[in-house]
Amino acid sequence: MASVVWADVEKASIRIAPFAHRTPVLRSTSVDCAARAKVFFKCENLQRTGSFKFRGACNAVSALPEAEKSRGVVTHSSGNHAQALALAAQLHGVRAHVVMPENAPDVKRRATEDFGATVIGCPPTHRGRVDTAARVERETEAVFVSAHDDPRVIAGQGTAACELIDEVGPVDLVLVPIGGGGLLSGTLVAAKHLASGIRVIGCEPAGADDAYRSLRSGERITDFVPHTIADGLRTPLGENTFVLIREMVDDIVLVDEQEIVDAMRLVWERMKIVIEPSSAVAVAPLLNGSINAVGKRVGVILSGGNVDLSSFFSGPPLR
């Protein structure tokens, strides 16, 4: 296991600066009123490839020695890391192989291929993803880049919190969605260094509560079947992220499926921006009362905005 420290996040900020967007921070009077707090949304849904994942993928590819870049990269991902690694590899002239579950949203599969990656299908289970990626790694000799557990990926994800705090100043609380734990881990490293007394809380679907249960049992849970609309959060914690989160996180809260949908609808309707269900998981605790944010300055990482719109446009074409 490898540790990630503040210096790694600093280096990541420099590496990705020529490639990644400095995403905006938005406010919503409706959310402020509902939470009775000042809420600052870090809009990673407006990041390149539509999610925060580009930060970590770009840092990981950029940090590879030239000899490893020549071998290409490989990963497994339900979609957002797939797109991110594909674009990061393209920008650095590196070949990319992406193992993707057969039930991944079509919009994410198409986007990954559009960025030049070779997509390999696999069974929609964690074991299926791992086994298929290992086979591709052996066959191609490409370098494996974990979607969440690679220290370079974790450091890259921490740069979003750096930008948030740099723009709005100290906050009392940061809410972060948690799947594999890369975004939460990177946020913990960055936020805890930049703002003393800050609380960082992971937000997780109740139908994919492996992180919640892992922290309470003290053992990392990897064998489970997630049931949630938040497809980006169906991945279990990694070895590195589990250690970082166990040591640093202040709490993990759970939200149910209807709360995720309600939060996503509110952001779409009131803020006029598109977020995916995984992003809404970090908004829901402000609306359901599971977090006491009254009078506080709260940062929320909106992790992505990649939504499959096919259900909206499945009818006959407009004339």
Could you give the residue numbers annotated as active site? 53, 78
Decide: helix, strand or coil at residue 191: helix
Contacts of 229 (CB under 8 A, 6+ apart): 205, 257, 260, 261, 277
Give the amino acid at 162: C
Contact 1, 240 (CB under 8 A): yes
**How many of the other CB atoms lie within 10 Å of CB of 70?**
13
Please, what is the Cα angle at 149 between 148 and 151, to 5 degrees?
A: 110
Q: Which residue, 203, 176, 180, 179, is CA-closest to 188?
A: 176
Question: 266: left (phi > 0), else alpha (psi -120 to 50), else beta?
Answer: alpha
Rounded-to-integer distance, Cα 52 and Cα 49, Å: 8
**How many of the other CB atoms lie within 10 Å of CB of 178?**
33
Contacts of 135 (CB under 8 A, 6+ apart): none
Please, what is the Cα angle at 294 between 289 and 298, to 5 degrees?
A: 90
CA atoms within 13 A of residue 17's CA, in its CB half-sphere: 9
Rounded-to-integer distance, Cα 284 and Cα 104, Å: 24
